[in-house]
Structure 1
């Protein structure tokens, strides 16, 4: 089990895939913990001092879709930037309803991009909705996400 202040994650075996079970004191904390789990699923040892921080923003129609789209964006950015996103910080998650009763959830986050040339990374192909769980619990939030490897 890996812990950061207010959040934790564990990698779980899942048939031919890999799953991340995570918890956080806040919704932002659990999103960051799942993203850290994605990084851990991709690489056993992440260097502490390489890579620059970058920001990202994601919008979706509900919380679960926001988590999916956030993780999907991280995988996309890994491929485009040729960097593994690590040390995730989710600064804010906001929710709004517009006049047409459409929901909108937005996430503002940052990560450190470690050049893939500096690490021995495994390819995580995609995030899946298979068995995805995101729920409020007594002491914060829990999530379970399966990745296709």
Structure 2
């Protein structure tokens, strides 16, 4: 019976370890995405702010500072560089919240991992020293 308990604990520890690794991968992906947003925002800040510019020839250049912005899953729109920087800032704020949430999840999972490890270690100690827990029902007490 103790062997089944040990196997269950090992399976739980393995599943917990897999969850920790999954959260770490998600955290790395979110951080990578944040770095990419920073790079795009930096590039867009270098572009001029005006949408139309006078030229030496008669006429003017129109739509010179527009970028195709990814607004949602399948939604794109032409926006100025400054508008795109604002869109990226909003997306980064959501991303930071996700990073905080994933960080909290990771800390909780790591705490659970250490707790599960200490319980398993205590159980091994009890088994090696042949210590058994005394249990009595309510009727016996």
Higher strand share: 1
Higher helix share: 2
Global fold match (TM > 0.5):
no
TM superposition score normalised by structure 2 = 0.23
Bigger Rg, structure 1 or 2: 2
